[in-house]
Structure formats: C-alpha cells, structure tokens
Structure 1
Amino acid sequence: MTPAPWTALSVTLAVQTLAAVALTTPSVMAPAVSPQIGVGAQHVGWLISLAYLAAMVTGLGGGALSQRHGPVRISQVALTASAIGLALMAIGHPAALLAGAAVLGVGYGLPNPTAAEILSRHAPAARRGLFFSIKQTGVPLGVAFTGMVVPALMAVGSWTQALLVLAVGLMGVMMLIGRKRSLLEGNAAPAAAAAASPGSPTAEGLRQRLLEPLREVLAFAPTRRLAIASLVFAFTQVSFLTFLVSLLKLEHGYSLPLAASLLAASQAASVVGRIGWGHVADRWVDPARLLGALGVAMGLAVALVGLAPADASASTMLALTLACAVTAVAWNGVFFADLVRLVPPERVARSTGATQFLTFMGGVGGSAAFATLVSLTGSYSVVFTVLGVLPALTGLVLLAGARRPGPGPAQGTGPG
C-alpha cells in the first residue's frame, strides 16, 4: 500500500479529533467557569446548540467547498475556525462566547465532508468502511483528550489561558497538514472541481450548493432513513457528552477532575466500539439492523445513568458511562460506512454534508432541549432518564423496518 492512504487517514483523523476537542472544551469547563461569569452550567447547552446550528449550514456547503478549493485547504480552514472560536471565548464576555460558539460550529461542520473527499480518493476500496470507522474515532479521542487535558490546564493557569493554549495547538497542526496538500489533492483536482461546481453567487447558485444535496439525500429512501436515524442518535449523543460532567459534579458530588476523567475513560470504549461495530456491520449484521439494536441499547444505557442514585460509586457510574460510550457515541462508524456503500464515490462529499445537516440538527435540538428541561425540572437525572426513550423508540422502528423485504442497496446507486 502506498503512503497516501495512511497519510489520508492520519490527516482526517487529526482534523476530526481537534475539531472535537474544540467543541467539547466549553462543556468540560462549564461547571467550574459558569459561577465566574454568572450563569448556570446548563446554559452551555445553548452555546453548543449555536455551534451545531452553524455546523449544519457550513456542512451543507462543505462538499462544494472541498471540491472547489481542495479538501486539505478546507480542512485547514476548519482548524483555523476552531482556533478562532476558542480565542473568542477566552474574552469571557457573553457576546464573545456566542460568537466563539458560532465560529466553533464552522470548524466542526467542515471535517466530515472534507474527510469524505480525501478518503474516497485514497482509502483502498476493500477497506473503505474500516478507514471511515477509524476516522470517526476522532470524536471520542477528542472528548477523551479534552477530559484529561483541559482540567490539567485549568489547574496550572486560568480558564482563559487554557483556551488560548488549545487555540495555539490547533494552529500548529493546521500548518503541519498543509504540507500534505500536494500528496492528497494533486495539482489538477481542485481546479477541475471548481470548473464543474456551481460558482454563481446568485440565489440559484446558493440553492444548488446548499439545498440540492439535501434534496438528493431525502429523495432516496435508504439515505433518508440513515439521515433521520442519525438526527435522533446525535440528539442523544450530544446530550450525553454535553451534560455528563455537570450531572456528575452537581448531582453526584464528584470533583471536576474525577467527573471529567470518567468521561475521558468512557471514550476509550467508544473508540473500540466505533471500529468494532463497523467491522460487525461489514461481516455479520446488516447495518440497518445493527443501528436499530444500538438505538435500543443506547436508550437503556442513558436512562440508567439518570436512574443511578446520587451516592452511586465512581465504579458504578464508570460502568454506565462505558455502556453509553459503546452505544450512544459509537454508532457513527456504522452510519458512515453504510452511507459510503449507498452513494457513488463522486457524491460522497455532497451526501455526507447533507446527512450531516440532519445529524447536527439533532445536536442543536439535543443541547437546547436538555438545557430547557433541566431549567424546568431542576434535575439532570430526570432529564437523562426521559432522554433514553427517544433512541430506544427509534431503534425499534429501525429494527421493524429492517425485517420488511426491500431492494438491497448497491454501490453506485443513490440519490438523484
């Protein structure tokens, strides 16, 4: 195998990991920082919702941007945006926090379409599902890194200094991946894509870039089912990742380092889960059935987190967070492997951006709804318990649909 596939995997994994670090940092900091700025810790959910809203819109155009300017260049833009978002948040003013969250969303919305473009070019066809699954481990790796490093940075300096240190690190990696641009893009690809992609600044040109990929995905039944399931599962995943630390610190009395370390430890299991479930889907179980089973399992796991008594031991809560990690944070590899199987290679970036729109819609809804329900009920535990119903019902619907006979998907068939 030539060096290009492994370089492609390394670059896409690094970008995905660091984008996740940037987006997760506010949630890890929230319990300690919120008293200093005079807001409740649950209000970080609104910042995360704003970030996902920005990511939704950015992702829709991400495929066209990647084809027009090159996926490595747009990956550099993603890391730059994430660094700027962290730096803005370091200002500490509410307006700067909102602006920073929006820019973080821009950085988080671009990596999936750019990675799809890079990996569809360079990943070996026989291992494409595995490569996408490994790339998707960047999210739990980023969460784990944040849970370990951010409290340590805050222990030796202020929270604003911690944000600036992370921003500098992201900019350093941004410059490093630029050195791989010629290997991963080639000289002619971006120019050719620019000539072929809609370049008009008119409303019609924007419609083709932003809305047409979404229409294609929703018009094709298999990708439509995937997209809707991803919305619900992302709703659950983002709620779990955003509010677990606050639940453990504020209702179970754990210290911030202990609460963050439980979140970080659980992510190791989700890394194994993402790769393992992708392998299972390739070898033994139909992806739709596997996604349905994961939905039921994540619903049960999240509900059990909410039902755990306030004096539950750290080992008990670790076991429950591990169960959430291998379900609610590990479905993504199966999702992307199946998406790549369903659509032709030239539409992978567009379809990824479009399905990501609905996935991130779940992120927006999850953070905002969870924060609202915590404000209404005064309890993180109650909301975690109720949250488990949604993915469980979705999983049952997927399992029921998978039992009905239908045409099997084939590589190269797809929307529109």
Structure 2
Amino acid sequence: MNQQTAPSPAPSLPPSPPPQVGIALLATTLVLAFSSLVALFPSAIAPTLADSLGVSTATVGIQVSLIFGGAMLTSLVGGPLTRRYGPCRVSQLALGLLGGGAALLTLPSLATFALASLIAGLGYGLTNPSASLLLFRVTPRHRQGLVFSLKQTGVPLGGVLAGLVAPALALAIGWQAALGCLFLVAVIGILLLQVQRHHWDRERDPRTPWLTTPLAGLQVVWQRPALRYLALLSLCFSAIQLSVSAFTVALLVEDLGVGLVVAGATMSAVQVFGIIGRVLWGLVGDILDDRLITLMGLACLSAGSGLAIATMDADWPRWTMVAVLCLMSLSALGWNGVFMAEITRLAPAERVADAAGGCLVLTYSGVLVGLPLLGALHGLFGSYTALFGLLAGLALVGLGFLLKARRAIAAPG
C-alpha cells in the first residue's frame, strides 16, 4: 500500500550561520567605536581647534550637544530605515555621515563646525538601531547580554582612541589632515561592510516607509509599558553616566584637594572599570537569565556608591576615594549592553530596530537635558560631593522604573 505523506512546507529563510556572530560583533563594535571617536575627536584637540575657529574651548564643547541632538533625530527613524534598507546598508550610511561630518570639520568656520557636528550626530544615531537588529538576528538568546555588552565597549574604546590618537595626529600632520584621516577610515569601513551586505540585509523590506513615520519607534516603546519604563530608566542612567565622566576630575581637584595628575589617572581608571563593567554585567545577565534583576543590582550599586561619594572629604585615604569612584563606574558606566539586550527581548521580533531607536531618543535626552541641569545644580549646591548625592537619588528613581517594568511584564494580558 502506497503511503502518502503530507507535503513539507516551503523552507523558510534560514538563520545566519554561527560564524556570523563573531563577524557581526566585530563590525558593530568597530562602527560604534568609530562613532565615539568622531564625536570626541574635536574635544581631544579643543585648544588647537578653538584657536583656529577664534572661539573658546568651552564653545568647542558645545559640539557634543550637537552630536547628540543629531543622534536623537536619526534615532526617531533608525528603526524603519533599518528595516527598509537592512542593518548593513544603514551602518554604511552611518559611517558615511560620520566621515562626511569629520571632513566638513576641516573647514575653519564656526557655521560649518556646527553643521558638521550635527551631520556626524545623524550618523551616530543610526549605529545602535542597525546593530541591535543585526545582533538580535545572529546571536543566540542566552548569549545576547554578553554580545550586546561587548558591542557597547566600542563607546569607551572610541574615547580612549580619541585621547591617544587625536592630539598625536594633530601635532604630526595638523588638525585638518587628522580629521581628513577619519574620512578615509569611514570610506574603508564602508567598503569592508559591503562584503557582508548580501548576508546581513537579505531580510530587508524595501516597502517599509521611514520618513513618513518618524515616531514609529517611540510608539512601539510607549505602547508597551515594560519598554516604556526601560526607556525612562535609560534617561536616568545616561545622565548618571555622563556626569560621572564629566565631573570626576573636578570632584577630586576642587572638593577633595587631589592633584591634577592623580585626578587624571583616576579618571582613566574610572573609564577602564566602565569597560570591565560592560562585559561583566552582560555576562551576569546571561547567567541569571534575568537582565531586569541585573539592572536593578546596577541601580542599587550606583545609589550606594553615589551616597558614599557624597560623604567624602579631603581626609579620606586616596586609595579609598579611587576605589569608591571605580565601584560607581563599574555600574554607572556598565549598564548599556544589558539595557540594549533587554530591549531586544521585550520588543516584538519584527520591531527590534524601532524599539532600539525609540528607547535611545530618551537615552540621548538624558545627556542633552540631564548634564546641563546637573551642572546648574552644582552651582546651587556649591560642591560636587553633593552632586553625587543627587546622582544616587537619580539611580533610585531608575530602580523605581525597573520595578514598574517588572510588574508590567508580570501583569496578565
């Protein structure tokens, strides 16, 4: 008797092969590191750049705000743009905008300086939505926390490169030629990414509208309570992170009587512990298989160390000051990868890039609004130790958002 079998369904598109995880991680980390390098390059040569533009070094510092302002704009459309053209093509677009912004910075004009910073910021804002979608597709769920955290080390890595490379290049070949080198690096990166485009962009949907739906990412986030509270958490954590980076040296020198050389060395240690924290907490989140609990632990650690810093005075032993600041850095600078991985878990699979872009709008808002506000509060309180006490309170606010996110996930329906 002939036995008929039901026809097998048409094969679906197979997932990317395992080797793609390593290649994708390397590519997305380097793109993110390059974006951070471009963003911080002018600050690293601020005195030279200020002389050429005829402005103060403080004016050069405004460039960071312009960068994040541009990043907020493209975060709004980064999700649908990535779904339409694919994560590889959008990463190439990001490199093009970053390199183009660097090239435009070579023109010694304040107007072009502002425009170039905004253009580079547009590229900066495209890096995470595209990277999130790509890594979500190729990374096993039980390794996403570690992989996303490793990718996020690109931010401090770019900062380290800016500090090491920018002044040396500016002295060796001039600041304009140094910025021109960044444009060449961007072109090389675009060409190298093209090799992978067939694999990484095969699931793109050319019919996806992007320019007509600038609020799509925010809608995805706001319609899902857990994602909404996670985004609000990032507003708090990003303000804490940038404050730790911006105010550590001033805290040590002005409030605690530490010499500038020792304060600078402490700042370097703080950044190194931030990198360690990004990898460590990503691994912890994967082991626990609960990234919200991991983020809660980070919030508590930030609050506790912030309160300890608030009690510091000049009589504290130097090693104790450094240890507490590094402990705060471990959490305050180490949350990003766990946060990005949790976005991919909470978002609908087909809207991962949209959710990443929507959340990052609030993340960048924490930088744009939080840092100037905290700086103004320092003027009111008159000490940086008191300011770190406020950061502890902000960490507890973030903990409250995490508790709300957990309750939203547990709620029926």
Q: TM-score, normalised to structure 1's length?
A: 0.80
- Kindly state the Cα deviation for residue 234 of structure 1 after the two structures are TM-superposed: 1.0
Matched, 1:352 2:356: yes
Q: For residues 71 and 260 of structure 1, do their structure 2 counterparts lie closer, same or farther at Cα, with a shift above 3 Å needed?
A: farther
Alignment length (residue pairs)? 395
Matched, 1:98 2:114: yes
Q: For residues 409 and 40 of structure 1, do their structure 2 counterparts lie closer, same or farther at Cα, with a shift above 3 Å needed?
A: farther
In 2, Cα distance between equivalents of 1:260 and 1:159? 24
Matched, 1:194 2:218: no
Tell me if structure 2 keeps the 8 A contact 1:71–1:114.
yes
For residue 196 of structure 2, give the secondary structure of its aligned residue in structure 1. helix
| Equivalent position of 1:408 in the other structure | 410
Identical positions, percent:
33
Q: For residues 230 and 95 of structure 1, do their structure 2 counterparts lie closer, same or farther at Cα, with a shift above 3 Å needed?
A: same
| Equivalent position of 1:27 in the other structure | 43
| Equivalent position of 2:63 in the other structure | 47
- Kindly state the Cα deviation for residue 342 of structure 1 after the two structures are TM-superposed: 1.2
1:59 corresponds, among 60, 75, 98, to: 75
| Equivalent position of 1:175 in the other structure | 191
What is the CA deviation profile of residues 148-203 of structure 1, one whole-angstrom value per residue up to 9, with x for unaligned ones?
Answer: 222333443544443333333233223222222123223xx33xx112x126xxxx
User: Residue 20 of structure 1 aligns to which amino acid in structure 2?
Assistant: S
User: Residue 206 of structure 2 aligns to which amino acid in structure 1?
Assistant: A
1:9 corresponds, among 25, 28, 36, to: 25
- Kindly state the Cα deviation for residue 62 of structure 1 after the two structures are TM-superposed: 0.8
Tell me if structure 2 keeps the 8 A contact 1:123–1:131.
yes
Matched, 1:241 2:245: yes
| Equivalent position of 1:366 in the other structure | 370
For residue 209 of structure 2, give the secondary structure of its aligned residue in structure 1. coil
1:342 corresponds, among 342, 346, 352, to: 346
Tell me if structure 1 keeps the 8 A contact 2:145–2:341.
yes
What is the CA deviation profile of residues 260-279 of structure 1, one whole-angstrom value per residue up to 9, with x for unaligned ones?
Answer: 76545543322221122122
User: Residue 357 of structure 1 aligns to which amino acid in structure 2?
Assistant: V
- Kindly state the Cα deviation for residue 38 of structure 1 after the two structures are TM-superposed: 5.4
Tell me if structure 2 keeps the 8 A contact 1:305–1:381.
no
- Kindly state the Cα deviation for residue 55 of structure 1 after the two structures are TM-superposed: 0.7
Q: For residues 101 and 83 of structure 1, do their structure 2 counterparts lie closer, same or farther at Cα, with a shift above 3 Å needed?
A: same
Tell me if structure 2 keeps the 8 A contact 1:43–1:371.
no
In 2, Cα distance between equivalents of 1:294 and 1:145? 27
Gaps of 5+ in 2: 1-16
For residue 90 of structure 1, give the secondary structure of its aligned residue in structure 2. coil
Once the two structures are superposed, the pairs formed by residues 376-387 of structure 1 within 5 Å of their partners are: 381=384, 384-385=387-388
Q: For residues 268 and 175 of structure 1, do their structure 2 counterparts lie closer, same or farther at Cα, with a shift above 3 Å needed?
A: farther
- Kindly state the Cα deviation for residue 28 of structure 1 after the two structures are TM-superposed: 3.2
User: Residue 159 of structure 2 aligns to which amino acid in structure 1?
Assistant: V
Q: For residues 103 and 361 of structure 1, do their structure 2 counterparts lie closer, same or farther at Cα, with a shift above 3 Å needed?
A: same
- Kindly state the Cα deviation for residue 223 of structure 1 after the two structures are TM-superposed: 0.5
Tell me if structure 1 keeps the 8 A contact 2:150–2:279.
yes
- Kindly state the Cα deviation for residue 147 of structure 1 after the two structures are TM-superposed: 2.5
- Kindly state the Cα deviation for residue 114 of structure 1 after the two structures are TM-superposed: 0.5
What is the CA deviation profile of residues 211-241 of structure 1, one whole-angstrom value per residue up to 9, with x for unaligned ones?
Answer: 1321221121111110000011112223333
Q: For residues 260 and 114 of structure 1, do their structure 2 counterparts lie closer, same or farther at Cα, with a shift above 3 Å needed?
A: farther
| Equivalent position of 1:115 in the other structure | 131
What is the CA deviation profile of residues 273-331 of structure 1, one whole-angstrom value per residue up to 9, with x for unaligned ones?
Answer: 11221222233384334323323433555677788778999967754553343122110
Tell me if structure 1 keeps the 8 A contact 2:89–2:201.
no
Gaps of 5+ in 1: 200-204
- Kindly state the Cα deviation for residue 242 of structure 1 after the two structures are TM-superposed: 4.7
What is the CA deviation profile of residues 57-116 of structure 1, one whole-angstrom value per residue up to 9, with x for unaligned ones?
Answer: 101111111111221111011112112222333334322221122112111100111112
| Equivalent position of 2:395 in the other structure | 392
What is the CA deviation profile of residues 363-413 of structure 1, one whole-angstrom value per residue up to 9, with x for unaligned ones?
Answer: 211343356567x579784685365245333244246647x8564399xx9
| Equivalent position of 1:202 in the other structure | none
In 2, Cα distance between equivalents of 1:35 and 1:333? 38
In 2, Cα distance between equivalents of 1:302 and 1:170? 39
Stretch of structure 1 that moved more, 158-167 or 224-233: 158-167
| Equivalent position of 2:3 in the other structure | none
Q: TM-score, normalised to structure 2's length?
A: 0.81
- Kindly state the Cα deviation for residue 35 of structure 1 after the two structures are TM-superposed: 6.4
User: Residue 254 of structure 1 aligns to which amino acid in structure 2?
Assistant: L
In 1, Cα distance between equivalents of 2:22 and 2:156? 20
**What is the CA RMSD across the aligned residues, in angstroms?**
3.6
Once the two structures are superposed, the pairs formed by residues 146-185 of structure 1 within 5 Å of their partners are: 146-185=162-201
Matched, 1:254 2:270: no
